[in-house]
Amino acid sequence: MDPAAAAAAVRHRLRDDAEPVRNLATFLTTSFEPEAVQLHSAYLNRNLADREQYPATDELVQECVRILGELWGGDGCRVVGSATTGSSEAALLAGLSLLHRWEERTGSGARRPNLVMGAGVHACWRNFCRHWGVEPRVAPARPGCVGLDGAVAAELCDESTIGVVAVLGGTLDGRYEPVRDIAAELDQLADRSGIDVPVHVDAAGGGFIAPFLDPDLQWGFDLPRVVSINASGHKYGQVPPGLGWVLWRDRDHRSGRLGFPVNYLGSNHTYHEFTFSRSAAPVVLQYYNFLRYGFAGYRSLHARSRRLAQDLAARLRATGRFQFLGDGSDLPVVAVTAEPDLKLSQLARRLGECGWAVPVYQLPPDLEELTAMRVVVRSDLRPSDVVAFAAAVDEFTRPHAV
């Protein structure tokens, strides 16, 4: 086939997919400046794994790890970490490191290890548990809250707990779990029982929001109990799909068993990722974004999104028809449940007719009888979009329309 004809056929094939900018379901970055697009295509053909031929690209990875380590309250000279395909790969690596380190600490092959988490954790954590034979020890959801609470986290821990996952920016509600309280409860548990449980922070969304918008919040490596953190560069890091980060506070906290040597590309290199060959372009764009935005740029970009999310929440609240799981005050995400007479699935269908994609989902046990609807506000949403979206919701929710 002629290239132009093949490209046209592909476009035709994909014509009915949602328009990414109007996809309010996704956390992924959906708009890019022309310079970013040019850089992305210029470096698409570099293999991130080929450190022999692309040492400067590998140095960008290390530079990004240092920058993130410092943003997350760590020592930039001591943190170690990897670029991954997303937070899911990062979570699998962090979970495996917790498991190995627990095995090394306790030497206990006989007991089944467990991982403590809140009801709202992303599916990648259950995935980790399923594939590595770890019991997911999940705190039940409470009315209006799917997040983990410090006291409950400590109650669920025992000698077989490999770690506690604390989420900074929940997938279902956009809320931060109280990482400092969780760490403090685990400190007390260690003092009274000797059970010493490390914390991993899943900051898939919050890792690129909290350092800029919530500088006084303690959630990262400044808490000694936090051993590792993951974040998605392709969410609020503003990078195209295909980039996550996992960092450990230092070399001692990353299990040595994650590393594997490879020498067939040239000299010896040790890798700590699951994925080997892939494009270096997302890492190049992460570094570009650090230069392009800097601290002040990221802060103003995300402050705008948070303001828009809070404005949207206020408009939805004014209808009097929703309860809020998340109101945009942590991640710029609005998540609501509604009275039984208001069918969120019908509302989402109506919004779909107006061109907005919004997800409706069942909440986890013990709130499974409730459905929720979530809007992710990203940097390419305009104030006029918020007004139009809220007006469409208002029209649907007015008593005569139900």
Ligand X SMILES: Cc1ncc(COP(=O)(O)O)c(C=O)c1O
Q: List interacting residues with ligand X (CB under 6 A).
A: 27, 86-88, 91, 122, 124, 167, 171, 202, 204-205, 232, 244
Q: Tell me how far, at minimum, the Cβ of 243 lies from ligand X, in Å.
A: 8
Q: Tell me how far, at minimum, the Cβ of 383 lies from ligand X, in Å.
A: 25
Query: 91 or 210, CB closer to ligand X?
Result: 91
Q: How many CB atoms lie within 10 A of CB 299?
A: 16
Query: 176 or 396, CB closer to ligand X?
Result: 176
* Whether the Cβ atoms of residue 58 and residue 52 lie closer than 8 Å to each other: no
Q: Tell me how far, at minimum, the Cβ of 394 lies from ligand X, in Å.
A: 28
Task: Name the percent of the chain in helix, strand, coil, to the closest 5.
Answer: 40, 20, 40
164 DSSP assignment? E
Q: Tokens 């979570």 belong to which residue?
A: 91
Q: Tell me how far, at minimum, the Cβ of 88 lies from ligand X, in Å.
A: 3
**Bridge partners, 142 (sequence order):** 145
Q: Tell me how far, at minimum, the Cβ of 123 lies from ligand X, in Å.
A: 8
Q: Tokens 């295909």 belong to which residue?
A: 242
Query: 122 or 200, CB closer to ligand X?
Result: 122
Put residue 169 in one of left, alpha, beta given phi > 0 → left and psi -120 to 50 → alpha. Answer: left
Query: 209 or 284, CB closer to ligand X?
Result: 209
* Whether the Cβ atoms of residue 265 and residue 277 lie closer than 8 Å to each other: no
Query: 51 or 272, CB closer to ligand X?
Result: 272
Query: 205 or 332, CB closer to ligand X?
Result: 205
Q: Tell me how far, at minimum, the Cβ of 120 lies from ligand X, in Å.
A: 8
Q: How far apart are CA 294 and CA 35, in angstroms?
A: 16
Report CA-CA distances (Å) from 238 to 230, 231, 254, 287, 288.
Answer: 16, 12, 27, 11, 10
Query: 46 or 200, CB closer to ligand X?
Result: 200
Report CA-CA distances (Å) from 313 to 316, 321, 358, 359.
Answer: 5, 12, 15, 16
Q: Tell me how far, at minimum, the Cβ of 5 lies from ligand X, in Å.
A: 34
Report CA-CA distances (Å) from 127 to 91, 131, 345, 357.
Answer: 10, 6, 27, 26
Q: Tell me how far, at minimum, the Cβ of 321 lies from ligand X, in Å.
A: 26
Query: 89 or 396, CB closer to ligand X?
Result: 89
| CA atoms within 13 A of residue 208's CA, in its CB half-sphere | 34
Amino acid at 251: R
